[in-house]
Amino acid sequence: MAASLTPLAEDGSVDIGRMKHHFDWLFAQGCSFVSPFGSTGEGPSFSVAEKHAALTALKLAGVDMGRVIPAAMSAAVDDTVTSIRTALTLGCRAILIVPPYYYGSASQAGIADFFAACAAPFGGNFPLDVVLYHIPAMSKIGFDPELVADLVARFPNRIAGIKDSTGDRDHALMLARTFPNLRIFTGDDRVLPHLLAAGGAGMIGGLPNVVAPDLCAFFADPTGPRAQTIMDQAALRIAAVDDYGGISALRALKAESYDDAAWAQPKAPLRALDGDSYARLRAAFVGSGFQF
Protein backbone atom coordinates (compact mmCIF):
# COMPACT_ATOMS: atom_id res chain seq x y z
CA MET A 1 0.00 0.00 0.00
CA ALA A 2 1.42 3.36 -1.00
CA ALA A 3 1.34 6.21 1.51
CA SER A 4 0.78 8.72 -1.25
CA LEU A 5 2.53 12.04 -1.69
CA THR A 6 0.22 15.02 -2.26
CA PRO A 7 0.87 17.07 -5.42
CA LEU A 8 0.24 20.79 -5.18
CA ALA A 9 -1.07 23.39 -7.60
CA GLU A 10 0.69 26.76 -7.82
CA ASP A 11 -1.61 28.23 -5.15
CA GLY A 12 -0.77 25.47 -2.67
CA SER A 13 -4.04 23.59 -3.08
CA VAL A 14 -4.22 19.87 -3.85
CA ASP A 15 -3.72 19.23 -7.56
CA ILE A 16 -6.45 16.70 -8.31
CA GLY A 17 -5.30 15.95 -11.87
CA ARG A 18 -1.78 15.09 -10.76
CA MET A 19 -3.05 13.12 -7.78
CA LYS A 20 -5.42 11.05 -9.91
CA HIS A 21 -2.60 10.37 -12.39
CA HIS A 22 -0.36 9.27 -9.52
CA PHE A 23 -3.01 6.96 -8.06
CA ASP A 24 -3.48 5.40 -11.50
CA TRP A 25 0.27 4.83 -11.75
CA LEU A 26 0.46 3.25 -8.27
CA PHE A 27 -2.43 0.89 -9.00
CA ALA A 28 -0.93 0.00 -12.39
CA GLN A 29 2.32 -1.01 -10.71
CA GLY A 30 0.49 -3.43 -8.43
CA CYS A 31 -0.34 -1.50 -5.26
CA SER A 32 -3.42 -2.98 -3.59
CA PHE A 33 -4.43 0.28 -1.93
CA VAL A 34 -3.39 3.92 -1.65
CA SER A 35 -3.39 5.84 1.63
CA PRO A 36 -3.50 9.63 1.13
CA PHE A 37 -2.96 12.41 3.66
CA GLY A 38 -0.86 10.45 6.13
CA SER A 39 2.62 11.52 7.20
CA THR A 40 4.13 11.15 3.71
CA GLY A 41 1.11 12.97 2.28
CA GLU A 42 1.67 15.86 4.71
CA GLY A 43 -1.77 15.22 6.18
CA PRO A 44 -1.36 17.47 9.25
CA SER A 45 -0.61 20.42 6.92
CA PHE A 46 -4.02 20.22 5.22
CA SER A 47 -7.31 21.16 6.83
CA VAL A 48 -10.12 18.66 7.15
CA ALA A 49 -12.07 20.72 4.61
CA GLU A 50 -9.20 20.59 2.11
CA LYS A 51 -8.91 16.84 2.47
CA HIS A 52 -12.68 16.34 2.17
CA ALA A 53 -12.74 18.41 -1.03
CA ALA A 54 -9.76 16.55 -2.50
CA LEU A 55 -11.13 13.08 -1.75
CA THR A 56 -14.54 14.06 -3.15
CA ALA A 57 -12.90 15.37 -6.31
CA LEU A 58 -10.86 12.19 -6.69
CA LYS A 59 -14.03 10.11 -6.54
CA LEU A 60 -15.65 12.33 -9.15
CA ALA A 61 -12.52 11.89 -11.28
CA GLY A 62 -13.06 8.14 -11.28
CA VAL A 63 -10.80 6.84 -8.51
CA ASP A 64 -11.98 3.51 -7.05
CA MET A 65 -12.46 4.68 -3.46
CA GLY A 66 -12.75 1.08 -2.32
CA ARG A 67 -8.97 1.00 -2.78
CA VAL A 68 -8.37 4.21 -0.82
CA ILE A 69 -7.59 4.35 2.92
CA PRO A 70 -7.25 8.02 3.93
CA ALA A 71 -5.56 9.06 7.15
CA ALA A 72 -7.15 11.09 9.94
CA MET A 73 -4.29 13.16 11.37
CA SER A 74 -5.91 15.35 14.01
CA ALA A 75 -5.88 15.78 17.77
CA ALA A 76 -9.47 17.08 17.70
CA VAL A 77 -12.39 14.69 18.06
CA ASP A 78 -14.62 16.74 15.75
CA ASP A 79 -12.03 16.77 12.96
CA THR A 80 -11.53 13.02 13.25
CA VAL A 81 -15.29 12.43 13.19
CA THR A 82 -15.54 14.57 10.05
CA SER A 83 -12.73 12.57 8.43
CA ILE A 84 -14.53 9.34 9.29
CA ARG A 85 -17.76 10.66 7.75
CA THR A 86 -15.90 11.62 4.59
CA ALA A 87 -14.34 8.18 4.26
CA LEU A 88 -17.68 6.50 4.91
CA THR A 89 -19.67 8.68 2.50
CA LEU A 90 -17.15 8.26 -0.31
CA GLY A 91 -16.96 4.48 0.08
CA CYS A 92 -13.36 4.24 1.26
CA ARG A 93 -12.12 0.81 2.30
CA ALA A 94 -11.04 1.94 5.79
CA ILE A 95 -9.55 4.88 7.65
CA LEU A 96 -6.12 5.20 9.24
CA ILE A 97 -6.28 7.05 12.59
CA VAL A 98 -3.32 8.54 14.43
CA PRO A 99 -3.65 8.93 18.22
CA PRO A 100 -4.27 12.48 19.48
CA TYR A 101 -0.90 14.18 19.53
CA TYR A 102 0.52 17.31 21.19
CA TYR A 103 -0.13 16.17 24.76
CA GLY A 104 2.70 13.68 25.05
CA SER A 105 1.67 12.94 28.63
CA ALA A 106 -1.69 11.54 27.52
CA SER A 107 -2.35 8.16 29.11
CA GLN A 108 -3.35 5.04 27.24
CA ALA A 109 -6.75 5.29 28.96
CA GLY A 110 -7.05 8.85 27.67
CA ILE A 111 -6.36 7.68 24.11
CA ALA A 112 -9.08 5.05 24.53
CA ASP A 113 -11.44 7.84 25.62
CA PHE A 114 -10.53 9.78 22.46
CA PHE A 115 -11.44 6.80 20.26
CA ALA A 116 -14.69 6.32 22.19
CA ALA A 117 -15.59 9.97 21.59
CA CYS A 118 -14.86 9.55 17.87
CA ALA A 119 -17.12 6.49 17.69
CA ALA A 120 -19.94 8.00 19.77
CA PRO A 121 -21.70 9.84 16.88
CA PHE A 122 -21.97 6.52 15.05
CA GLY A 123 -23.80 4.69 17.83
CA GLY A 124 -20.69 3.80 19.79
CA ASN A 125 -18.87 1.85 17.12
CA PHE A 126 -16.97 2.95 14.02
CA PRO A 127 -18.97 2.74 10.78
CA LEU A 128 -16.03 1.41 8.75
CA ASP A 129 -12.78 -0.41 9.39
CA VAL A 130 -10.06 1.39 11.34
CA VAL A 131 -6.30 0.93 11.02
CA LEU A 132 -4.44 2.24 14.07
CA TYR A 133 -1.49 4.43 13.11
CA HIS A 134 1.42 3.80 15.49
CA ILE A 135 4.05 6.48 14.85
CA PRO A 136 5.25 7.65 18.28
CA ALA A 137 8.29 9.48 16.90
CA MET A 138 5.87 11.99 15.35
CA SER A 139 2.71 11.72 17.47
CA LYS A 140 4.60 11.53 20.83
CA ILE A 141 2.24 8.77 21.95
CA GLY A 142 1.28 5.43 20.48
CA PHE A 143 -0.67 2.26 21.05
CA ASP A 144 0.57 -0.13 23.73
CA PRO A 145 -0.51 -3.76 23.25
CA GLU A 146 -2.90 -3.45 26.18
CA LEU A 147 -4.58 -0.45 24.56
CA VAL A 148 -4.88 -2.26 21.24
CA ALA A 149 -6.56 -5.18 23.00
CA ASP A 150 -8.91 -2.73 24.76
CA LEU A 151 -9.85 -1.01 21.49
CA VAL A 152 -10.48 -4.34 19.78
CA ALA A 153 -12.82 -5.29 22.64
CA ARG A 154 -14.57 -1.89 22.67
CA PHE A 155 -15.19 -1.69 18.95
CA PRO A 156 -16.17 -5.15 17.73
CA ASN A 157 -15.13 -6.04 14.20
CA ARG A 158 -13.91 -2.51 13.37
CA ILE A 159 -10.27 -2.36 14.52
CA ALA A 160 -8.91 -4.05 11.42
CA GLY A 161 -5.18 -3.50 11.71
CA ILE A 162 -2.16 -1.53 12.84
CA LYS A 163 0.40 0.43 10.86
CA ASP A 164 3.67 0.22 12.79
CA SER A 165 5.92 3.07 11.68
CA THR A 166 8.60 2.58 14.34
CA GLY A 167 10.95 0.81 11.93
CA ASP A 168 11.59 -1.64 14.78
CA ARG A 169 11.50 -5.19 13.42
CA ASP A 170 11.03 -6.77 16.85
CA HIS A 171 8.08 -4.49 17.61
CA ALA A 172 6.37 -5.35 14.34
CA LEU A 173 6.89 -9.07 14.92
CA MET A 174 5.52 -8.73 18.47
CA LEU A 175 2.37 -7.16 17.08
CA ALA A 176 1.99 -9.96 14.53
CA ARG A 177 2.34 -12.59 17.25
CA THR A 178 0.11 -10.81 19.76
CA PHE A 179 -2.70 -9.91 17.37
CA PRO A 180 -2.97 -12.70 14.78
CA ASN A 181 -6.50 -11.58 13.87
CA LEU A 182 -5.40 -8.04 12.96
CA ARG A 183 -3.67 -6.95 9.77
CA ILE A 184 -0.21 -5.75 10.78
CA PHE A 185 1.57 -3.36 8.40
CA THR A 186 5.04 -1.90 8.60
CA GLY A 187 5.99 1.54 7.38
CA ASP A 188 9.58 0.44 6.70
CA ASP A 189 10.70 -1.53 3.65
CA ARG A 190 13.48 -3.18 5.65
CA VAL A 191 11.00 -4.76 8.06
CA LEU A 192 8.68 -6.02 5.32
CA PRO A 193 10.23 -9.46 4.60
CA HIS A 194 10.42 -10.36 8.30
CA LEU A 195 6.85 -9.24 8.90
CA LEU A 196 5.47 -11.17 5.93
CA ALA A 197 7.27 -14.30 7.10
CA ALA A 198 5.60 -13.88 10.50
CA GLY A 199 2.13 -13.60 8.98
CA GLY A 200 1.92 -9.81 8.72
CA ALA A 201 -0.22 -8.14 6.07
CA GLY A 202 2.34 -5.99 4.25
CA MET A 203 3.48 -2.39 4.14
CA ILE A 204 1.96 1.09 4.10
CA GLY A 205 4.99 3.09 3.05
CA GLY A 206 6.35 6.12 1.27
CA LEU A 207 8.91 4.45 -1.01
CA PRO A 208 6.24 2.93 -3.31
CA ASN A 209 5.65 6.50 -4.54
CA VAL A 210 8.92 6.06 -6.44
CA VAL A 211 9.77 2.35 -6.53
CA ALA A 212 6.35 0.68 -6.51
CA PRO A 213 7.27 -1.77 -9.32
CA ASP A 214 10.10 -3.30 -7.27
CA LEU A 215 8.24 -3.44 -3.97
CA CYS A 216 5.09 -4.86 -5.56
CA ALA A 217 7.22 -7.51 -7.29
CA PHE A 218 8.69 -8.45 -3.92
CA PHE A 219 5.27 -8.59 -2.27
CA ALA A 220 3.99 -10.86 -5.05
CA ASP A 221 6.94 -13.26 -4.66
CA PRO A 222 8.79 -12.66 -1.35
CA THR A 223 10.88 -15.82 -1.70
CA GLY A 224 11.54 -15.55 -5.45
CA PRO A 225 14.88 -15.17 -7.23
CA ARG A 226 14.80 -11.34 -7.17
CA ALA A 227 13.55 -10.98 -3.60
CA GLN A 228 16.88 -10.48 -1.85
CA THR A 229 18.14 -8.06 -4.50
CA ILE A 230 14.98 -5.97 -4.19
CA MET A 231 15.30 -5.82 -0.41
CA ASP A 232 19.00 -4.93 -0.59
CA GLN A 233 18.15 -2.09 -2.96
CA ALA A 234 15.23 -1.00 -0.76
CA ALA A 235 17.51 -0.75 2.28
CA LEU A 236 19.89 1.55 0.40
CA ARG A 237 17.03 3.67 -0.93
CA ILE A 238 15.17 4.20 2.34
CA ALA A 239 18.45 5.13 4.05
CA ALA A 240 19.18 7.68 1.31
CA VAL A 241 15.69 9.20 1.57
CA ASP A 242 16.07 9.48 5.34
CA ASP A 243 19.53 11.05 4.96
CA TYR A 244 18.64 13.55 2.25
CA GLY A 245 15.32 15.11 3.01
CA GLY A 246 12.54 12.60 3.80
CA ILE A 247 9.30 13.78 2.21
CA SER A 248 11.10 16.46 0.20
CA ALA A 249 13.47 13.78 -1.08
CA LEU A 250 10.60 11.59 -2.27
CA ARG A 251 9.03 14.61 -3.95
CA ALA A 252 12.26 15.47 -5.77
CA LEU A 253 12.63 11.90 -7.02
CA LYS A 254 9.02 11.86 -8.19
CA ALA A 255 9.50 15.18 -9.97
CA GLU A 256 12.34 13.74 -12.03
CA SER A 257 10.71 10.38 -12.69
CA TYR A 258 7.52 12.12 -13.87
CA ASP A 259 9.47 14.91 -15.57
CA ASP A 260 7.21 17.32 -13.71
CA ALA A 261 8.88 19.93 -11.50
CA ALA A 262 5.63 20.70 -9.67
CA TRP A 263 6.01 17.46 -7.71
CA ALA A 264 9.11 18.78 -5.94
CA GLN A 265 7.28 21.47 -3.97
CA PRO A 266 5.97 20.45 -0.54
CA LYS A 267 3.45 22.24 1.64
CA ALA A 268 4.78 24.84 4.06
CA PRO A 269 6.51 24.53 6.50
CA LEU A 270 8.46 21.92 4.51
CA ARG A 271 10.72 23.21 1.75
CA ALA A 272 11.88 21.77 -1.55
CA LEU A 273 15.16 19.85 -1.54
CA ASP A 274 18.24 21.89 -2.43
CA GLY A 275 20.35 20.99 -5.45
CA ASP A 276 23.36 19.59 -3.58
CA SER A 277 21.22 17.31 -1.43
CA TYR A 278 19.32 16.10 -4.47
CA ALA A 279 22.55 15.35 -6.32
CA ARG A 280 23.67 13.10 -3.45
CA LEU A 281 20.24 11.50 -3.18
CA ARG A 282 20.10 10.86 -6.91
CA ALA A 283 23.57 9.33 -6.90
CA ALA A 284 22.55 6.98 -4.09
CA PHE A 285 19.45 5.87 -6.02
CA VAL A 286 21.39 5.34 -9.24
CA GLY A 287 23.94 3.37 -7.21
CA SER A 288 21.12 1.16 -5.91
CA GLY A 289 20.13 0.26 -9.45
CA PHE A 290 17.26 2.71 -9.86
CA GLN A 291 16.68 3.97 -13.41
CA PHE A 292 14.96 7.31 -14.03
Q: Model confidence over 94-131: pLDDT tens digits? A: 999 999 988 888 899 999 999 999 999 999 999 999 99
Say what the pLDDT of residue 76 is: 96
Render pLDDT for 237-276 as a digit per residue (tens, 0 to 9).
Answer: 999 999 999 999 999 999 999 999 999 999 999 999 999 9
Q: In the CATH hierarchy, which fold is given to the domain comprising 2-220?
A: TIM Barrel (3.20.20)
CA distances from 198 to 133, 149, 170, 176, 202 (A): 20, 19, 11, 7, 11
Res 101: pLDDT = 85
Per-residue pLDDT tens digits for 32-86: 999 999 999 999 999 999 999 999 999 999 999 999 999 999 999 999 999 999 9
pLDDT tens for 220-242 read 999 999 999 999 999 999 999 99
Maximum Cα–Cα distance across the chain: 54
- Which pLDDT score, from 0 to 100, does residue 31 have? 98
pLDDT tens by residue, 136-168: 999 889 999 999 999 999 998 999 999 999 999
Q: Please, are residues 207 and 234 in contact by the beta-carbon 8 Å criterion? A: yes
pLDDT of the residue at 183: 98
What is the distance between the alpha carbons of residues 21 and 42, in angstroms, rounded to a whole number? 18
**How confident is the model at residue 250, as a pLDDT?**
98
The confidence band for 198, taking pLDDT boundaries of 50, 70 and 90, is very high
CA distance 78 to 72: 11
How high is the pLDDT of residue 102?
82
Mean pLDDT in residue range 163-191: 97
Contact 53, 37 (CB under 8 A): no
Q: What is the DSSP string of 175-239?
A: HHHH-TTSEEEES-GGGHHHHHHTT--EE-BSTHHHHHHHHHHHHH-TTSTTHHHHHHHHHHHHH
pTM (2 decimals)? 0.96
Is residue 272 a contact partner of residue 254, using CB atoms and an 8 Å limit? Answer: no
DSSP 132: E
Which residues are registered as beta bridge partners of 161? Answer: 131, 183
Q: What whole-number distance in Å separates Cα of residue 33 and Cα of residue 23?
A: 9
What's the one-letter identity of residue 116?
Answer: A
Across residues 16-36, what is the average pLDDT? 98
Q: Tell me, what's the pLDDT at 243?
A: 96
Q: What is the pLDDT of residue 105?
A: 83
CA–CA distance, 245 with 262 (Å, rounded to integer): 17
- 278 pLDDT more than 90: yes
Q: Residue 103's pLDDT is what? A: 81
95 has which bridge partners? 130
Strand partners, 35: 3
Read off the pLDDT band of 202 (50, 70, 90).
Answer: very high
Angle, CA of 105, 107 and 112, to the nearest 5°: 135
Quick one: pLDDT at residue 106? 87
User: What is the phi/psi pair of residue 223, to 5°?
Assistant: -120, 15
